[in-house]
Every structure is written in structure tokens, then in C-alpha cells.
Amino acid sequence: MTLRSITVLLGSVIFSGVVIYWGFNIMFPSKPNPSRLLLAKIRGGDYAHAGDKDAFRVVLPKIVDYFKERLVEQTVLDVGCGLGGTADYLYTQGFYNIWGIDIDKGAIEYARSKYPFIDFSVWDATQVDQKFEKDFFSLLYLFNVFYALSDQQKMQTLNSLAAVAKPGALLVIFECTSPKAEDPQEIKDLTGKPMRPIVLPVFHDMIKKSKWEIIEKVDLSDQYIKWYKDLLYKLDQQKNSFTNEFPVEIINHLTTTYIAILEKLEKKTWGGIVVYAKRKPD
Ligand SMILES: C[S@@+](CC[C@H](N)C(=O)[O-])C[C@H]1O[C@@H](n2cnc3c(N)ncnc32)[C@H](O)[C@@H]1O
């Protein structure tokens, strides 16, 4: 075999692989995780964060106040956007330039088809600086996403977000907290990822080493208890109406996960918080 024929053969193998991959993705698009779809039904929106719409009532006034109502001009990044309901909610409030990223391909395909006016893509939070321009975003937020990252990834994400944030940009982190580092095997989220709530002293150290400065923190521990109680109540009330659409194992898995979270919140071994931070000048 000549070098030329080997090159041609290799080229055609790679080309066929790419065509098959594209074709497969078009014919069989990724589907969102069924637990997420069930959760969205129970929550009454495409959200997977504590408090559903009520969380916006807590957080949005602060954001609107920060931008002094010039919402339409702001460039917004929803980090770990999931099914896209949070980004859509911000859009309905007047933020028209929104990008969303998430590592879950099925969730992104769902978000893209349901909310085509928002720019969604599959991307990792720790590497947003490799996707977007420097100094691009004026608002960046994570709604119950930070818990899914290890300490090293949390730090990488803070740095990566700082790189794409304009000086003075607002970062909002809405998350559960814990006074000490969690055993990552203890509670897993619906995708099987260990939950690692924010440990405040560790988080403060990370912020100090980053280009962010905290401007306000609001404890949401009591609201988190109410929100998870409400969610479990809705799940219990509605579960029989979902048994045709979702396997009973999924309904049970959702219930046991949220009972475990509620127990931690009630024992005060977990809490909730929203942190507002500002990008320091370079
Ligand atoms: C509990 S859901 C919250 C979704 C969304 N923020 C909301 O409020 O509905 C956590 C999301 O974080 C995403 N996620 C986890 N690790 C990530 C990472 N390294 N980069 C981007 N997204 C990530 C998950 O795929 C999931 O969609």
C-alpha cells in the first residue's frame, strides 16, 4: 500500500465516522433525563433549583436593582442552565441577550428547541473562558450548580467566569451550604452526581483568591426548608397521575432524594444561601 492510498483510506474512514455520528445525532437526538422531566412537571416549569419560581422573587429584585433597570443592554450567562426555564424566566423579565451552557446534552437539546431565542450550548462551567470572549458578560449566575463541582472545579469556575466577565459584572450563586465538607458518597443528585454544598470558610478563601468580591450574602436556610417541604408535598399529591408516564422507580428515587435533603435542612446540617459578587477591576 502506498502512503497516498493509506492517507485516502484513513480520510474516508474519518469522514464516514463523522457522517455516521452526525446522522445518528439527527435521527436519535439526546433526550433529557426522565427524572428531570418529572421534576419539571412537579415544579410547574423547566427548573431544577430549590424554590422554583419563588426563588426568582427572592433573587430578581437585587439583580434588577444592580442594573438600574437597563436590563435589555446586559449580556447574561446562565451557567448550568439545565432545561432552560431559568433563562427563559429572565428573558420574560427583560433580559434579551442570554447564553446558557450545561454539560447535559439532552437538557441543552430540549432547551434549544423550547426556547430558540436563547443561545444554549453544551459546555463545561470550568472552561467558559475557552468559549466566550474576555470581558463579555455583565451578569453570570449559577442556580444550584456549584454543588455539582469539586473544590478544584469550583475554583476553576470562579476564575473562568471572571475571565469572561466585564469589570463590575454581577455574579449570583444560589446554592445549598454545609458547615463542613460533605462525604461525597452521602447524597447524590438525580443524575448520580455527589452533592457538595458550599462550605462558607472554604468558599470565602476561594473568592479571596479570585477576581470576585462579595457584595452581599443572604441566608435562605428557612426558605429552603419550606421549598423542599412544598416540593415533597406536591410530589406526594401528584405521584399517582404520573405513573403512566414515568416508571415508579423514578418517582420513588425522587422522593427518597428530596426526603434526605429535607432531613439535612431540618437538622441544620445543610442550609441555603444566595451570594452576590462583583467582578473586581483588572
Ligand atoms: C440542579 S440542576 C440546575 C439546573 C438549572 N440551573 C436550573 O435552575 O434549573 C444542575 C445543573 O448543573 C449542570 N452541571 C453540573 N456540572 C456542570 C458543569 N461542570 N458545567 C456545566 N453544567 C454543569 C447539570 O448538568 C444540571 O443541569
- Ligand 1 close to Cβ of residue 103 (< 6 A): yes
Q: How many CB atoms are closer than 10 A to CB 182?
A: 18
How many residues are there in the chain? 282
Q: What is the DSSP letter of 146?
A: G
Q: Among the residues of the chain, which ranges form H helices? A: 3-27, 34-43, 52-66, 85-92, 105-114, 151-164, 200-209, 221-242, 248-266
Cα 6 to middle of ligand 1, angstroms: 44
Q: How far apart are CA 282 and CA 269, in angstroms?
A: 37
Report whether 140 contacts 113 (CB < 8 A).
no
Report whether 169 contacts 190 (CB < 8 A).
no
> Could you give the angle at the alpha carbon of 170 between the alpha carbons of 152 and 204, nearest 5°?
40
- Ligand 1 close to Cβ of residue 107 (< 6 A): yes
- Ligand 1 close to Cβ of residue 138 (< 6 A): no
- Ligand 1 close to Cβ of residue 49 (< 6 A): yes
Domain boundaries, the chain: 1-30, 34-279
In degrees and rounded to multiples of 5, residue 72 shows phi and psi of -60, -25
| Nine-digit cell string for 189 | 443528585
Cα 13 to middle of ligand 1, angstroms: 35
Topology given in CATH for the domain delimited by 34-279: Rossmann fold (3.40.50)
- Ligand 1 close to Cβ of residue 80 (< 6 A): yes
Strands 165-177 and 75-79: unpaired
- Ligand 1 close to Cβ of residue 147 (< 6 A): no
pTM, full prediction: 0.89
Tens-digit pLDDT profile for the chain (282 aa)?
665 666 556 556 555 544 444 444 444 446 788 888 888 888 889 998 999 999 999 999 999 999 987 998 999 999 999 999 999 999 999 999 999 999 999 999 999 999 999 999 999 999 999 999 999 999 999 999 999 999 999 999 999 999 999 999 999 999 999 988 876 667 888 888 899 999 999 999 999 999 999 999 999 999 999 999 999 999 899 888 888 888 888 888 889 999 999 999 999 999 999 999 999 998
